[in-house]
Amino acid sequence: MKAFKLDFSSYYYYLILAMAFFLPVDIYIVPFFIILIFVNWIVEGKYSEKLKFLKSKYLLLFISYYLLYLIGILWTSNQTSGWFDLEVKLPFLVFPLVAFRIGKIIDSDKLTKVLLAFVSGCMVTTIACLSRATYMWFSASENYFYYAKLSF
């Protein structure tokens, strides 16, 4: 009987493909993929290699940037907006941790496919927005071909 082996590099690749596709389609799904990529990074192991990167001055730069925003929460009068801003800037903290590992996994062929997934997501979103605007033009006689109404 074969032993079951997890292939974390494939998980990274497919999660990045999905994230690239959904980035233009639905921005609210993207944090879910970021979390899954981070969980994959933790579960993968190879902690000695990751510990070397954690001591890097480049990572310290990204962590410092995020910590400045975290400290800024103490001075803001609008806590809700401040915490939302921290959530939006979470990739500044998570992506550098994961990026060094992903850089070793994704070659130029896979990078081309990731870019193709992003372009496909852009095309799907464009077709959906234009289809809705056309439908609204003919059914409700309203012009939905402008900025605020075009994107839904």
Mean pLDDT for 128-132 is 89
Work out the average pLDDT over 103-124.
86
Answer yes or no: is pLDDT of 3 > 60: no
Q: How far apart are CA 66 and CA 61, in angstroms?
A: 9
DSSP string, 37-73: HHHHHHHH--HHHHHHHHT-HHHHHHHHHHHHHHHHT
Q: Alpha carbon of 105 to those of 19, 93, 99, 114: distances in Å?
A: 16, 20, 10, 13
| Section 72-93 average pLDDT | 79
Q: Which amino acid is at 78?
A: N
